[in-house]
Chains A and B, each alone.
Chain A
Amino acid sequence: MIEMHEVDKWYGTHNVLKRCTTHVAKGEVVVVCGPSGSGKSTLIKTVNGLEPFQGGRITVDGQAVTTSGRDLTRLRARIGMVFQSFELYPHMTVLDNVCLAQTVVLKRPRSEAEAKTEALLRRVGMIDHARKHPGQLSGGQQQRVAIARALAMDPIAMLFDEPTSALDPEMINEVLDVMTELALEGMTMMVVTHEMGFARRVAHRVVFMDDGQIVEDRSKDAFFDHPETDRAQLFLSKILHH
């Protein structure tokens, strides 16, 4: 579904992604982890072209990710994305947040978009808040709406960029529960996260990054039980034992 081949990215002279190669198969859940500044968020944002890259190749569902143009816009409409800071549109209600791209991009009639939105809001437990604005919601609630907004486009894959990092601890689970359910339904998912419990329960594979490189790319059990590199061992020991 998602293929990344030797992806290279530079900020000026700084090489932020170094020949990154990995893939996400259809129905697979891949967790990307690593220390902060390792390039995880940059990597996931190259998948839908939010971050341009200079070398290598990325394809999603067989279509190349370009740097701009109509093809990229059309491809983005088929890939859902959830951000660390939610990025709900503050000037719109929850309902309009979820409806907007359905009506503007997919040209769904308003009534059809609203029906779809209501079904999704019910699914993420937010139907009672449909008429509110994002500012009236907690972080966990906002993130669940953001997931519904992405799902409204019937995506072929979902990208999650640290979806729980900006949340208060008591709200993390309500978001992870929605993501877990999604994974169990067979959604193709690429997830940047520090939630190793989620990774252990849900992921099929783990990609470990450090300093712009993919250092390990292995099945979940292999990664957690026998990390190959010192860097991954060090990372796991820091993140698991505290």
Chain B
Amino acid sequence: MTEFDWTAVTNNLPFLMQGLFLTFQLTILAMVGGILLGTVLAILRLSAPAPVPQLIAGYVNGLRAMPLILVIFWFYLLVPLALGRPVGAFPSALIAFTLFEAAYYSEIIRAGIQGVARGQLQAALASGLSYAQAMRYIVLPQAFRAMLPILLTQSIILFQDTSLVYVVGLRDFLTAANIVASRDQRPVEMYLFIAAVYLVLCAGGSFAVRRLQRRLAR
């Protein structure tokens, strides 16, 4: 057995870090966009007149029935068609992730809103707050507090899923590692390294979620 040679990793760190940066960028933007859109979808599904809730239910169930890789690929093809001009791989992937994650986040947020006691909404309305104000000041703060751990867990899954952007030619962390591994013929070291990075980041995230859960439970 040959010795491990980590120079393939160390020599290419800047290149790999560029990939990691793209992974983070995509995760954070899709998370923020997905939670914002998911919140709007959840509120509309709970309170808008027909047929809006039914349409949203169709959207959510449709996207959740689809493999993510297909959604990424579709948007890569569809967004330029819809806009009539090329938009590039990153914007199309970001749109795909945001819309896909919004479907998942909206279900989490809907459960969170329903978990806030109905009397809280009534008390807020009785004091003269509008429905939107009652949501903003009373219901959503309580709902987000309760569902923060689940939202973060979903975001860790999103972080892992971003590796699928290789299908549209984006160089995320895993794709960058693939390139280096095949070029320098050091796949074992390279995949050990990126596995360690994913492990540290995701396990660290899960650990933070568990601590947060304990703090919120107090």
- Could you tell me which A residues sit within 8 Å of B by CB distance? 45, 48, 50, 73-74, 76-79, 81, 83, 85, 87-91, 100-101, 104-106, 149-150, 153
Contacts and interface: CB of A to CB of B under 8 A. Distances in A.
Given A89-B124, A100-B127, 4 more contacts: A50-B122, A87-B119, A87-B120, A100-B137
B128 interface: yes
A73 B128 contact: yes
A74 B122 CA distance: 15
Interface in B126-177: 126-130, 133, 137-138, 141-142, 145
Contacts of A85: 117, 119
B128 A89 contact: no
Contacts of B125: 50, 73, 76
Contact of A83 (B123, B128, B137, B145): B123
B122 A104 contact: no
A193 to B, nearest CB: 18
A90 B129 contact: no
Contact of B130 (A48, A73, A81): A73
Q: How would you classify the secondary structure of chain B's contact residues: helix, strand, loop or mixed?
A: helix
23 contacts: A48-B126, A50-B122, A50-B125, A73-B128, A76-B126, A76-B128, A77-B127, A78-B128, A79-B126, A81-B127, A85-B119, A87-B117, A89-B123, A89-B138, A90-B142, A91-B141, A100-B137, A101-B128, A101-B129, A105-B128, A105-B129, A106-B128, A150-B127
A175 B136 CA distance: 30
Contacts of A150: 127
A77 B128 contact: yes
Nearest to A50: B122
Given A83-B119, A85-B119, A104-B137, A91 B142 contact: yes
Interface residues of B, number: 18
B135 to A, nearest CB: 12
Contacts of B138: 89
Interface in B84-135: 117, 119-120, 122-130, 133
B126 A104 contact: no
A2 to B, nearest CB: 15
B129 A104 contact: yes
Nearest to B144: A91
A74 B127 contact: no
Contacts of A88: 123
Q: Which of B117, B123, B127, B141 has the most CB of A within 10 A?
A: B127
Interface in B37-81: none
A48 B126 CA distance: 7
Contact of A153 (B124, B127, B130, B145): B127
Contacts of B137: 89, 100, 104
Q: Which of A48, A79, A104, A153 has the most CB of B within 10 A?
A: A104
B117 to A, nearest CB: 8
B24 to A, nearest CB: 30
A101 B145 contact: no
A91 B129 contact: no
Contacts of B142: 89-91
A155 to B, nearest CB: 10
